[in-house]
Amino acid sequence: MKKLFTIAQITDLHVGRVIPFPSGKIALYDQLVTAVQSVNNLDPLPDVLVVSGDLANHGNEDDYRKVHALFKTLKMPYYIVVGNHDQRSSLRTIFSEHTYLNTGSEFIQYTVEDLPLRIVVLDTLAVGSHRGLLDTERLDWLDKTLAENREKPTIIFMHHPPFETGMPYPDSLGMDGKEALAEIIEKYHNIEAVVSGHTHREASLRWHGTVAYTTPSSSFSYKLEFHDVDDLDPLMEPPAYRVFRWDPETGLVSHLCFTGKYEYGITEGVPAPPEN
């Protein structure tokens, strides 16, 4: 098995939504097209892509079909995580060749083995709510699953972040069960990262013996607001995704990547350092 390994993560696609901005409407499907092109243009290609929830804004099958068709152009295998905008049954129907979605349980929790990093995926969907939930059944599965392999480096993906970001509005749409999750995570010393989306912003912190991330949406962002607000308005900061590079000598390095074209990048190379 090769040792160097990269995982890309895109999140919060919200296909089906069209957002009116003063400069014009943006169809989030088009944003996903750009993100897929960007991931496909990475060199070397990621070994695997994780799509961490909110694939379709309304969870309807037509939008999932569009995502499914577009994902046929991906040059690497991909894995789906369920988000609060998603419908488990529709995901299972449209992405039917993704047999790992049929877990034998209501919840879409699974592992990906036979890779240099063990991938563990959690289902934080609470039907009818934008808040997330990890209840006893889902947490017991996690504890049992992590106990199966305490040595292999492991990365956990889930839609809702397991930590407070300090932004009152996103935190009000946070996750129940995160304290119990933290108690489980603390028992294991091979968890390289706990990775989520949902907030549509980048954040990271040291968290119960590992590192936790939220990754920005590949479609649209929300403003950084550390004060109370009545609602969140979409903001077009550059859409982004994350790439994790695993090297057993170094560990897990996280790279935030932006999609789209940026015309005013550095064109003159790196300036020479001052001589004195």
- Under the rule (CB under 5 A), what is the footprint of Fe ion? 12, 54, 83-84, 198
Closer Cβ to Fe ion, 118 or 198, answer by number: 198
Q: Are 194 and 213 in contact (CB under 8 A)?
A: yes
Spatial CB neighbours of 115, under 8 Å, sequence gap ≥ 6: 1, 5, 47, 48
Give the Cα separation of 148 and 241 in Å (integer).
30
Reported in sequence order, the residue ranges of 45-94 that DSSP labels E, i.e. its strands, are 48-51, 78-80
Closer Cβ to Fe ion, 83 or 234, answer by number: 83
**What is the closest distance, in whole angstroms, from the C-beta atom of residue 81 to Fe ion in the complex?**
11
CB burial of 65-85 (b: ≥16 within 10 Å; e: otherwise) equals bbbbebbeebeeebbbbbbbb
Closer Cβ to Fe ion, 49 or 51, answer by number: 51
Closer Cβ to Fe ion, 45 or 71, answer by number: 71
**What is the closest distance, in whole angstroms, from the C-beta atom of residue 189 to Fe ion in the complex?**
30
**What is the closest distance, in whole angstroms, from the C-beta atom of residue 200 to Fe ion in the complex?**
6
Q: Residue 34 phi/psi, 5° resolution?
A: -65, -40
**What is the closest distance, in whole angstroms, from the C-beta atom of residue 57 to Fe ion in the complex?**
8
How many Cβ atoms from other residues are within 10 Å of residue 58's Cβ?
Answer: 13
**What is the closest distance, in whole angstroms, from the C-beta atom of residue 13 to Fe ion in the complex?**
8
Closer Cβ to Fe ion, 12 or 123, answer by number: 12
Closer Cβ to Fe ion, 46 or 83, answer by number: 83
**Six-digit token pair at 167?**
């932004």
**What is the closest distance, in whole angstroms, from the C-beta atom of residue 232 to Fe ion in the complex?**
11
Determine if the peptide bond prior to 44 is cis (ω within 30°).
Answer: yes
Closer Cβ to Fe ion, 66 or 198, answer by number: 198
CA distances in angstroms from 2 to 110, 111, 113, 116, 247, listed in the order given = 23, 19, 14, 7, 10
Give the Cα separation of 83 and 108 in Å (integer).
10
**What is the closest distance, in whole angstroms, from the C-beta atom of residue 10 to Fe ion in the complex?**
12
Give the Cα separation of 217 and 267 in Å (integer).
28
